[in-house]
């Protein structure tokens, strides 16, 4: 691989590569090799393509791309040059795809996307509802390039931002462009990146670090992971531009050890960039030098907090530290050097801002929250996956237009944004614009981009318990309010969901939550009570039912409600009696019934009944039962 010694050399290389790598007449299959598609057999599909091409003598290029987004439908791929999109591709479908699309220039209808079996298939990716409202900036190359080939990235416009900065912009110009774009940190807090960079630039000292936070600990979230795995050079270019603007010399990418593919692809990208002369000493023949390395973390959720992350980088236990000093000040960053810290998605947006200008970036999104945001859309929604949408789009558009609506056409109940320490937003706020400030107003937050959709069968008390159990177990234990307070809150929730809730428990949860927020050192403790506080705020009646009526309307919590058998629906299969380990289900001549004195409310009969003849009702008081 030839080392580039000038900006003109990079420009000429891009021109020579573009026509070759993106030849519009080339037979090509871009196969998604993201985590979800890999798990559902993407590499087996690739082997089938290679075998079919060899047997038929057809020259087909197979591009192993990063995540293409619609994970629910994997493995997915796009066939060029006719631009046909295929979903849920099996190895046995490959010969038909080759025959129809690559040799016959026709779509293979059985493999096309459909909203349901009664609708017409949609051949082109851009016409699929999941993609129609998306705008890709951070994920611009995912699904297009091979992440292990730097020439693919360069041919697609990669390193054009760095090329522009080194040839025609001073460090101050780059800084001002990022500041004008009002790029807010995509890691959750939303602090303007330009202001943070300026603070580091103004710090005393000649050694400064550029740090990328790839410790994505939110369950079900894979936004940063998909960039590191599918387009690592966009991260490297963004970090290099940051280093150029603020006078940084060293870059550190902090990645959790559980992301082996991200670590592998990042190291390949760093090695290739050094070999091409885009990292290291005297980049592109200039006096700008910047080196990069990877630090693997142990996967602690608390290491998403900046000072705990720095401690982990230094080889210490991931404990948060008091501030000041901030990371941007002497004594605050790794080994005491002033440092800038942004998450992966934030850095990935920077090359586009420099290449296309801040006005282009601000033309997308809202005034206060310009640009786009990547979300991991999961939960009770038809089309789960990775979506990138303009700021200001509504929750309704994301869940119904992009996500396809609620599974089995059930009623929407709530959506949680911001990961396990985010808030739960009810149906009354479905038309809320998704941006930093709007989410804060309803008690939630942007977070790193997790978005979990819940339907009518979800118990909000149980959801609050689930998320709190995660943050409680991930607490580092340094601060007593977080360590002890989250444990006490979890104990109260355990009591409520097992039918032993007491009067005053709701108020106790609110008091504990507010005190934890006030008394914790880091962001984990400051936000851990959010799921509980927002579910009490919007779904207080469910807490009251659990405590006062011993009833869970979603039929999720064991130990609550009164279990009965509807004799008009029961067809006497006897499965409820077989499932009951306590002998509470009794058999008469032509019916079954549940003895309330022996029933432990374990839900075994309810779960075993194939026709939902076992009902869960609000528990009657002892006095009313005796009178009856």
Domains 150-362 and 562-627 share a fold: no
Q: How much of the chain exceeds pLDDT 70, in percent?
A: 98
Helix (H) or strand (E) holding 290: none
Contact yes or no for 502/495 (Cβ under 8 A): yes
Q: Are strands 450-455 and 372-379 parallel, antiparallel or unpaired?
A: parallel
Q: How much of the chain exceeds pLDDT 90, in percent?
A: 83
Would you state the pLDDT for residue 628?
38
Would you state the pLDDT for residue 367?
92
Helix (H) or strand (E) holding 412: strand 412-417
pLDDT of 623 strictly over 60: no
Would you state the pLDDT for residue 418?
86
Cα(268)–Cα(265) distance, integer angstroms? 5
Report the CATH number of the 375-401+412-451 domain.
3.10.20.600
Would you state the pLDDT for residue 356?
97
The CATH fold of domain 461-549: de novo design (two linked rop proteins) (1.20.1440)
End-to-end Cα separation, the chain, in angstroms = 87
Q: Residues with Cβ < 8 Å from 152, sequence gap 6 or more?
A: 21, 63, 144, 145, 146
If we measure between CA atoms, which residue out of 289, 283, 286 comes closest to residue 3? 283
Would you state the pLDDT for residue 620?
65
On the CB side of 505, how many CA atoms lie within 13 Å of its CA? 25
pLDDT digits (tens, 9 = 90+) for 146-159: 999 999 999 999 99
Would you state the pLDDT for residue 344?
95
Write the DSSP symbol of residue 479: S
Mean pLDDT of the region 342-367: 96
Mean pLDDT of the region 394-415: 96
* Torsion sign across C-alpha atoms 468, 471, 476, 478: negative
- Site of tokens 């998306």: 134
The 3-state secondary structure of 506-524, one letter per residue: HHHHHHHHHHHHHHCCCHH
Confidence band for 111, pLDDT divided at 50, 70 and 90: very high
Does residue 482 or residue 219 have the better pLDDT? 482
pLDDT of 547 strictly over 60: yes
So what's the architecture of 150-362 in CATH?
A: 3-Layer(aba) Sandwich (3.40)
pLDDT of 622 strictly over 70: no
Mean pLDDT of the region 449-462: 94
Would you state the pLDDT for residue 447?
80
Would you state the pLDDT for residue 624?
40
pLDDT of 515 strictly over 90: yes
Does residue 222 or residue 68 have the better pLDDT? 68
Would you state the pLDDT for residue 283?
97
Query: What's domain 26-80+84-123's superfamily in CATH?
Result: Glutaredoxin (3.40.30.10)
Out of 406-410, 479-483, 557-561, 614-618, least confident range: 557-561
What are the domain boundaries of the chain?
26-80+84-123, 150-362, 375-401+412-451, 461-549, 562-627
pLDDT digits (tens, 9 = 90+) for 295-340: 998 878 888 889 999 999 999 998 999 989 999 999 999 999 999 9
Out of 216-220, 385-389, 499-503, 547-551, least confident range: 216-220
pLDDT digits (tens, 9 = 90+) for 13-72: 999 998 889 999 999 999 999 989 999 999 999 999 999 999 988 999 999 999 999 998
| Phi and psi torsions of 63, nearest 5° | -105, 120
Average pLDDT, the chain: 93
Structure tokens at 500: 């032993």
pLDDT digits (tens, 9 = 90+) for 120-140: 999 999 999 999 999 999 999
* Torsion sign across C-alpha atoms 341, 202, 174, 2: negative
Report the CATH number of the 562-627 domain.
3.30.70.20
Would you state the pLDDT for residue 291?
97
pLDDT digits (tens, 9 = 90+) for 516-540: 999 998 888 899 999 999 999 999 9
């Amino acid at each position: 691989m030839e080392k580039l010694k000038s900006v003109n050399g990079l420009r000429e290389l891009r021109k020579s590569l573009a026509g070759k790598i993106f030849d519009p007449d080339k037979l090509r299959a871009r196969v998604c090799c993201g985590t979800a598609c890999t798990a559902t057999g993407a590499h087996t599909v690739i082997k089938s393509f290679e075998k079919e091409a060899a047997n038929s003598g057809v020259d087909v290029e197979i591009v192993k791309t990063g995540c293409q987004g619609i994970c629910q439908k994997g493995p997915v791929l796009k066939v060029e040059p006719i631009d046909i999109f295929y979903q849920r591709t099996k190895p046995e479908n490959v010969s038909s795809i080759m025959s129809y699309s690559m040799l016959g220039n026709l779509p293979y209808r059985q493999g096309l996307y459909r909203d349901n079996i009664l609708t017409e298939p949609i051949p082109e990716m851009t016409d699929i509802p999941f993609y129609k409202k998306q705008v890709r900036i951070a994920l611009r190359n995912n699904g297009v390039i091979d992440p292990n080939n730097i020439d693919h990235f360069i041919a697609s416009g990669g390193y054009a931002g760095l090329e522009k900065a080194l040839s025609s912009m001073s460090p101050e110009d780059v800084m001002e462009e990022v500041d004008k774009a009002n790029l807010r940190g995509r890691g959750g807090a939303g602090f303007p990146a330009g202001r943070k960079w300026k603070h580091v630039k103004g710090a005393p000292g000649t050694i400064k670090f550029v740090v990328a936070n790839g410790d994505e600990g939110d369950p079900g979230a894979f936004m940063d992971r998909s960039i590191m795995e599918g387009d690592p050079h966009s991260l490297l270019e963004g970090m290099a531009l940051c280093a150029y603007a603020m006078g940084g010399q060293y870059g550190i990418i902090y990645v959790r050890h559980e992301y082996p593919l991200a670590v592998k692809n990042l190291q390949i990208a760093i090695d290739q960039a050094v070999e091409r002369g885009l990292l290291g000493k005297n980049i592109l023949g200039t006096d700008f030098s910047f080196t990069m390395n990877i630090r693997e973390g142990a996967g602690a959720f608390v290491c998403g907090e900046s000072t705990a992350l720095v401690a982990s980088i230094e080889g210490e236990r991931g404990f948060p530290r008091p501030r000041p000093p901030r990371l941007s000040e002497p004594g605050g960053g790794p080994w005491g050097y002033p440092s800038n810290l942004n998450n992966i998605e934030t850095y990935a947006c920077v090359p586009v801002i420099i290449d296309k200008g801040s006005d282009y970036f601000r033309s997308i999104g809202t005034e206060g929250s310009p640009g786009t945001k990547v979300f991991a859309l999961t939960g009770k929604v038809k089309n789960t996956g990775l979506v990138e949408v303009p700021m200001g789009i509504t929750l309704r558009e994301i869940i119904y237009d992009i996500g396809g609506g609620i599974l089995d056409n059930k009623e929407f109940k709530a959506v949680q944004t911001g990961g396990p320490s985010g808030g739960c937003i009810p149906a009354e706020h479905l038309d809320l614009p998704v941006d930093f400030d709007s989410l804060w107003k309803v008690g939630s937050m942007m977070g790193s981009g997790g978005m979990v959709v819940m339907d009518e069968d979800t118990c909000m008390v149980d959801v609050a318990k689930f998320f709190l159990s995660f943050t409680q177990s991930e607490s580092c234990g340094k601060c007593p309010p977080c360590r002890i307070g989250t444990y006490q809150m979890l104990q109260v929730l355990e009591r409520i969901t097992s039918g032993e809730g007491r009067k005053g428990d709701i108020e106790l949860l609110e008091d504990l939550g507010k005190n934890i927020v006030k008394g914790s050192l880091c962001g984990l403790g400051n936000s851990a009570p959010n799921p509980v506080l927002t579910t009490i705020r919007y779904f207080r009646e469910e807490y009251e039912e659990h405590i006062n009526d011993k009833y869970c309307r979603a039929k999720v919590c064991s130990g609550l409600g009164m279990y009965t058998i509807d004799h008009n629906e029961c067809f006497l299969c006897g499965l409820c009696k077989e499932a009951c380990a306590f002998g509470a289900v009794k058999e008469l001549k032509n019916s079954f019934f549940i003895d309330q004195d022996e029933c432990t409310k374990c839900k075994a009969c309810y779960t075993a009944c194939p026709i939902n003849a076992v009902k869960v009702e609000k528990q009657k008081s002892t006095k009313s039962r005796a009178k009856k």
